Amino acid sequence: MKAFLSPRWLGWHALLLVSLVSLGRIGWWQWETARDEGDWQNYGYAVQWWLFAAFAVFLWVKLVLDELDPSRVADREKAAEPQLPLPDLRPRAAAPVEDDEDEELAAYNRHLARLAEQARE
């Protein structure tokens, strides 16, 4: 519990309170504007600001839970790592060159086979 009284956490608590007061006040102002003008768009904006405030509370709760149980962060990071198969890097045998193909293609294939042999050496 002491961790939540550290300067870093006191900053987070202060940021949450300032955010909630600001967002709640903006939402209330939008609500009053909608009531005065009868404009549905302002009602929507009022709800939007209050949803932003709810999201700030959600993030704060998430930070608190992560601080109480650090394994949550490790589990999340482990789950986020891609589990890709390792590539097969073993050298492969060159395809046999058939001389009954087109002469230009056969020459090109022989050239590629020589390059593959040189790369293996």
Q: What predicted TM-score, i.e. pTM, was given to this entire model?
A: 0.56
Where do the domains of the chain lie? 2-80, 91-121
SS3 call for 90:
coil
Helix segments in 1-121, DSSP class H = 7-37, 40-68, 71-80, 103-120
Tokens, residue 110:
């022989």
pLDDT of residue 22: 95
Q: Compute mean pLDDT per 10 residues along the chain, 121 residues long, and list them.
A: 78 92 93 86 90 94 86 78 78 64 82 86 71
pLDDT of residue 23: 93
SS3 call for 27:
helix
